[in-house]
């Protein structure tokens, strides 16, 4: 038995055209899954899908803005039309429109963050879980953050949503475990993605952050791909409701986000 074999599985990955999502999509395709790559722009989805197909995998791209419920519906229906089912859902896409003191965030930015990062994650899970339950098989991986585990001077609203995602995973895992649906979170540390660019591109900020990582470097998207693949694979069939830090040791050393 190959514990990491995803042959015959269909995986949908939001935020799948770059960063952590792209690395996860490529890893799952390499493990044999058929992959639906999703992000806001169709041309980016098509580019990622073509790259996976040219590398010997099987993928399609379906654009979806996670802030829009109608596009979540279209993502799920389009994925089923393409591949017949959804076995694995990776909720990776997120937004962070505001950095600064929590009391200074305006309602628009706060509502946008909560809607995209929590409310619509639950909505998307709700669209795929019934099919998983019918087949008695499914794995959902929510990309949270180590920001969920500590206070933040600059990312308070984002951290609130990521903490909520951890609890969302616990609740869904409890509610749907008897249908053989597993729901887990990975908690990345500071990874060098476009979304987190403001936290690592400035040399001074980069050095301050780096001091809190025992491994001696910040994360790369590929560092998360293995953990996501693991949680979606047969190797993790008895793991559910968990939040696994993948952070170069930041949480044990008190480092991470500012």
CA dist 243 and 241 (Å) reads: 7
Choose, from 98, 158, 213, 257, the residue flagged as catalytic. Answer: 158
Q: Label residues 57-89 b or e (16+ Cβ within 10 Å = b).
A: bebbbbbbbbbeeebbeebbebbbebbebbbbb
Provide the 3-class DSSP secondary structure of residue 203.
helix
Cα–Cα distances (Å) from 228 to 134, 210, 223, in that order, read 24, 24, 10
Alpha carbon dihedral 229, 234, 235, 238, in 10-degree steps, equals 110
Q: Is 158 a catalytic residue?
A: yes
Closest to 247 (Cα-Cα) out of 222, 224, 225, 226: 224
CA 127 to chain CA centroid, Å, is: 17
Closest to 146 (Cα-Cα) out of 111, 185, 119: 185
Positions annotated as catalytic residues are: 158
């Amino acid at each position: 038995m190959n514990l990491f074999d995803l042959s015959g599985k269909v995986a949908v990955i939001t935020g799948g055209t770059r960063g952590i999502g792209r690395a996860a999509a490529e890893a799952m395709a390499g493990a044999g899954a058929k992959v639906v790559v999703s992000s806001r722009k169709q041309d980016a989805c098509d580019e990622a899908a073509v790259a996976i197909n040219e590398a010997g995998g099987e993928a399609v791209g379906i654009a979806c803005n996670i802030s829009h419920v109608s596009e979540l519906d279209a993502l799920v229906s389009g994925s089923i039309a393409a591949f017949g089912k959804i076995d694995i859902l990776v909720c990776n896409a997120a937004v962070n429109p505001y950095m600064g003191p929590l009391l200074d965030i305006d309602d628009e930015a706060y509502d946008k963050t909560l809607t995209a990062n929590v409310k619509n994650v639950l909505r998307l899970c709700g669209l795929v879980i019934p099919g998983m339950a019918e087949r008695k098989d499914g794995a959902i991986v929510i990309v949270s953050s180590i920001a969920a585990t500590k206070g933040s001077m600059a990312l308070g609203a984002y951290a609130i949503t990521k903490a909520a995602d951890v609890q969302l995973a616990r609740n869904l895992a409890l509610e749907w475990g008897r249908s053989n649906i597993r729901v887990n979170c990975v908690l990345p540390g500071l990874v060098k993605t476009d979304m987190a660019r403001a936290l690592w591109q400035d040399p001074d900020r980069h050095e301050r952050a780096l001091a809190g990582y025992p491994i001696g470097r910040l994360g790369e998207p590929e560092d998360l791909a293995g953990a996501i693949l693991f949680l979606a694979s047969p190797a993790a069939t008895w793991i559910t409701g968990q939040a696994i830090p993948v952070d170069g040791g930041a949480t044990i050393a008190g480092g991470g986000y500012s």
